[in-house]
Amino acid sequence: MKVHHLNCGSMRPPGVPDGIVCHVLLVETDTGLVLIDTGLGLRDAADPAGRFGPARFLIRPAFDPAEAAITQVTALGFDPADVRHIVLTHFDADHTGGLADFPWASVHLTATENTAALRPRTMIERGRYLPTQRSPEPEIVEHTPDRGEAWRGFPGAEELTTIAPGIVLIDLPGHTRGHAAVAVDAGDHWVLHVGDAFYHRGQISGAGGVPRMLSLMERGFAHDWPKVRANHHRLAEVWHAAPADLLLVNAHDPALLRHAQTR
């Protein structure tokens, strides 16, 4: 499968000189197109307050319609109607804003994350899951990767064969209650998109350079901080092992996005 790496939402939190991105995968399969996350969409640009909420004052998204996934799909020469499936790492607004632009697509996520979005239990969950994110109500397909087999050392995974062979949803809770990673077989390598399991490459590379604001944001938005830290350790092992057939990316690091776009 061919994988395109898109930035579907530039954001400029204070104290983060390089800003952050919304790294979205557009996957060409034999039966249509698949998006891994959506970034921000056209409706977000039209109604920032209603669609994104108060967090926009901290994260400061650009809300640029040119960055919307549907705009970029069209610019690449594809018909947006061919986007048949969307796989979400989690239901935060900066990952789901584009859902409204593809109301015909089936939306895949963990059952735990869908439950969290529908029935938030904590103050953090009540703040992150806004009703506008589900307008129009998407066709949800729930998955239970936590009950599946291991994938490259990650304890639970489910191959989404109803979409296409070679797309794997991996249980990776911590940032949210039902957060997941998504692996895609790109032929000569796999792309492992770990969503918000870490914010900056320095957190897993050991090289440092992590803006303090990103660390504060990650801690503040975390559903389960010990699990986030455990994910950092596991992903650091992957980073330092540097398997030649695996490209590790996350949702928000612009340097990892640029590197992926050169592959």
Tens digits of per-residue pLDDT, 13-70?
Answer: 999 999 999 999 999 999 999 999 999 999 999 999 999 989 999 999 999 999 999 9
Give which of 143, 169, 146 is closest to 156, Cα–Cα.
Answer: 146
Give residue limits of the domains in the chain. 2-261
pLDDT of 175? 98
Per-residue pLDDT band for 255 (boundaries 50, 70, 90) equals: very high
Question: Edge to edge, what strands does the sheet with 154-159 contain?
Answer: 149-151, 154-159, 167-171, 180-185, 190-193, 246-249
pLDDT of 35? 98
Question: Which H, E and C letters describe the chain, residue by residue?
Answer: CEEEEEECCCECCCCCCCCECCEEEEEEECCEEEEECCCCCHHHHHCHHHHHHHHHHHHCECCCHHHCHHHHHHHCCCCHHHEEEEECCCCCHHHHHHHHHCCCCEEEEEHHHHHHHHCCCCHHHHHHCCHHHHCCCCEEEEECHHHCEEECCEEEEEECCCCCCCEEEEECCCCCCCCEEEEEECCCCEEEECCCCCCCCHHHHCCCCCCHHHHHHHHHHCCCHHHHHHHHHHHHHHHHHCCCCEEEECCCCHHHHHHHHCC
Mean per-residue pLDDT, 199-211: 94
pLDDT of 263? 82
Residue 91: how many other CB atoms lie within 10 Å: 26
Q: Which sign does the torsion angle of CA 150, 118, 58, 8 carry?
A: positive
Question: Is 157's pLDDT higher than 90?
Answer: yes
Amino acid residing at 156: G
Per-residue pLDDT band for 208 (boundaries 50, 70, 90) equals: confident
Alpha carbon 5 to its chain's center: 12
Tens digits of per-residue pLDDT, 192-202?
Answer: 999 999 999 99
Cβ atoms of 22 and 11 within 8 Å: the answer is yes
pLDDT of 261? 96
Tens digits of per-residue pLDDT, 109-156?
Answer: 999 999 999 999 999 999 999 999 998 999 999 999 999 999 999 999
Domain 2-261 fold: Metallo-beta-lactamase; Chain A (3.60.15)
Alpha carbon 92 to its chain's center: 9
